[in-house]
Structure 1
Amino acid sequence: MKKIEINIPDAVDEKTFKMEIAAFLFEKEVLSSGQAAKMVGISRREFLEDVGKYGVSIFGETWEDLEKLMNG
């Protein structure tokens, strides 16, 4: 596994920043949910429970897809 170091301003919440990146990489299928959780430093369950807050579906559907299904 590769390691990178990123400097972020003190005002940026580190966990939120990591979740944003992990959610993006999970959505793009670069990382599995377990890998994304490890990157953030949380359990896989916690990642799966929280990733929806970042606009990512764990079911592989976009919010637009789900809205189309709901609205017929």
Structure 2
Amino acid sequence: MKTLVINLPETIDITPREATMLLATQLYEMGKLSLGQAADLAGYSKRTFMELLGEYGVSVFNYPVDDLDNDILNAKNYHI
């Protein structure tokens, strides 16, 4: 694993664990890390990481709304 050192101003009230979780959630949301990789980076099990994602406003399901709307329309058209 790579080591990353970030110098933050003292005025930022964040723990190293919180910063790592923020990084992991953003990399997961951007598709740079899988769920398992992000959970490992954050130091949590997959299950716990999934539960915590909601607190950071990140969905476990990375499914664009446009794709969902299109799939619903297709299902209605084909009576699925």
TM-score of the aligned structures, taking structure 1 as reference length:
0.70
Look up the equivalent residue of 2:42 and give its one-letter code: V
Q: What is the aligned counterpart of 1:44 among 32, 43, 46? A: 46
Unpaired runs of 5+ in structure 2?
A: 70-80
CA distance in 1, matches of 2:57, 2:17: 16
How big is each residue's C-alpha offset from its partner over 1:17-65, in whole Å with a ceiling of 9 and x where there is no partner? 1111111000000001110111111111110110111111011257xx5
How many equivalent pairs are there? 64
Contact 1:23 1:56 in 2 (8 A): yes
CA distance in 2, matches of 1:9, 1:37: 27
Alignment partner, residue 12 of structure 1? 14
Unpaired runs of 5+ in structure 1?
A: none
Q: What is the aligned counterpart of 1:59 among 50, 61, 69? A: 61
Deviation at 1:7, TM superposition (A): 3.7
The higher radius of gyration belongs to 2
Alignment partner, residue 2 of structure 1? 2
TM-score of the aligned structures, taking structure 2 as reference length:
0.64
Alignment partner, residue 76 of structure 2? none
Deviation at 1:16, TM superposition (A): 1.3
Alignment identity in percent?
41
Alignment partner, residue 28 of structure 1? 30
